[in-house]
Amino acid sequence: MRRLIRWSVVLLILLTIAFFIWQKTRPQPVEVFVKPVVRGKVEKTVANTRAGTVDACRRAKLSPSIGGQIARLPINEGDEVKAGALLLEIWNVDLAAQLALAEQELAVAKAQANATCFNADEAKRQAERSRKLFRSKSTSEELYDRAVTQAKSSQAQCDAARASIQTSIARIELARANLSRTRLTAPFAGVIAKINGELNEYVTPSPVGVQIPPTVDLIENNCYYVSAPIDEVDAAEVRVGMESRIHLDAFKNRKFEGTVRRISPYVLDIEKQARTVDIEASFVNPEDIIDLLAGYSADVEIILATRDDTLKIPTESIVDGTSVYVFYDDEKVVRQMPITTGLANWAFTEVLSGLQEGQSVVVNVDKPGLKDGASANLAEVEL
């Protein structure tokens, strides 16, 4: 009897030890985060590989074409100017005087031409009268020839006087051109971004091959676009006119509607293993550009295709592009299910087959211990 009791105690101890070992070594349920399979819109998109930049549609870095002392500088940085507005004027009193002199010379040339051509007309009339008198034998041939010669000479003087007028006009045009080179005007409406120079300072044009900072930096402030690089692999699907979404770091809670306006005709190979193609996206709504500044960092998401009312799942739930883990709450288990996918972006992927609406897919697919048939507990449901 004692032996039986002893063996019973030993067996109980062994069973207890085995139970504790099993408790410690058995697989623990995996805690999973899930999201439901739902219906909705899925877009196939392409995004830039590096940060893009907001650029003005037009930006001019202006300098006078001749050197000299700044006589007028009627602008300040930040001023908005209209097209044709005076930005800067070089001292030009001598050139203005040359223009005034040329205009006076033109007036004199016109007066001289009027007098000379009047005399030419009178000489022509005298020659005609002499011709009639010569035919009627009322004057000599010598007097007739003299009148004709005088008429031709007077007409030549008239022609020379008229040519002198054209010469004077050309001098005026030259003087005006020289004077205009001393004035720097806005080629378009915009805002003054930078001024390099002060009143009475001397400015010089850039010599060939030497870069000198521009005197005035003018930015168009009513037209902006985003320039951004995309992967060369994605560029083949992008077309001018495609819709896009623009995201700016300066406006984190806003999305801007855009349109692809240009695709670069060549591939950039700055990084040999990551070649890119530059694209430009313009803003659709004029009111969106009111608060923009050139130089803002930006991201562009180009919409290649769209499908409405289709099954979709989070892209992060897909394993190797071909399957997902489905969580069954009643069994507390996950099953790996093969799927066929369609359109996709970084957030959602379209499911063509393999899943049904309402099923729950695991999104933390890198969780240790997650495999087909593994026990699982629902850590949190994210809707």
Angle ∠(182,186,191) on CA atoms, nearest 5: 130
User: Do 336 and 296 touch, CB atoms closer than 8 A?
Assistant: no
d(CA 252, CA 259): 20
d(CA 210, CA 206): 6
For residue 178, which phi and psi values (nearest 5 degrees)? Answer: -65, -40
Residue 116 sits in the same domain as residue 160: yes
Separation in Å, CA 25 to CA 12, 15, 19, 206? 20, 15, 10, 80
Share of the chain residues as helix, strand and coil, in percent rounded to the nearest 5: 30, 35, 30
β-pairing, 30-36 vs 360-362, is antiparallel
Kindly state whether residue 19 falls inside one of the protein's structural domains.
Answer: no
The number of domains in the chain is 4
Residue 187 sits in the same domain as residue 171: no
Residue 35 sits in the same domain as residue 114: no
Kindly state whether residue 22 falls inside one of the protein's structural domains.
Answer: no
Percent above pLDDT 70 for the chain: 82
Q: Which of 167, 195, 219 is the last residue of a domain?
A: 219
Q: Residue 348: what residue type? A: F
Confidence class for position 205, pLDDT limits 50, 70, 90: confident
Q: Residue 68: what residue type? A: G
Residue 194 sits in the same domain as residue 73: yes
Residue 155 sits in the same domain as residue 289: no
pLDDT in tens, 255-300: 999 999 999 998 887 766 778 999 999 999 988 888 889 999 999 9
User: Do 186 and 85 touch, CB atoms closer than 8 A?
Assistant: yes
Q: How many other C-beta atoms can be found within 10 angstroms of the C-beta atom of residue 78?
A: 10
Residue 231 sits in the same domain as residue 112: no
d(CA 296, CA 258): 16
Kindly state whether residue 344 falls inside one of the protein's structural domains.
Answer: yes
Residue 82 sits in the same domain as residue 199: yes
β-pairing, 52-56 vs 68-72, is unpaired
Q: Is the pLDDT of residue 13 over 50?
A: yes
Q: Is the pLDDT of residue 145 over 90?
A: no
Q: Is the pLDDT of residue 23 over 80?
A: no
Residue 318 sits in the same domain as residue 371: yes
Residue 83 sits in the same domain as residue 188: yes
Q: Is the pLDDT of residue 195 over 70?
A: yes
Kindly state whether residue 7 falls inside one of the protein's structural domains.
Answer: no
Q: Which of 280, 307, 334 is the last residue of a domain?
A: 307
Of 294 and 127, more confident = 294
Rg (CA), the chain: 44
Q: Which domain holds residue 72?
A: 59-90+183-219
β-pairing, 202-203 vs 30-36, is unpaired
Structure tokens at 324: 């997902």
Residue 149 sits in the same domain as residue 80: no
Of 138 and 195, more confident = 195
**Chain mean position to CA 292:** 13
Residue 211 sits in the same domain as residue 327: no
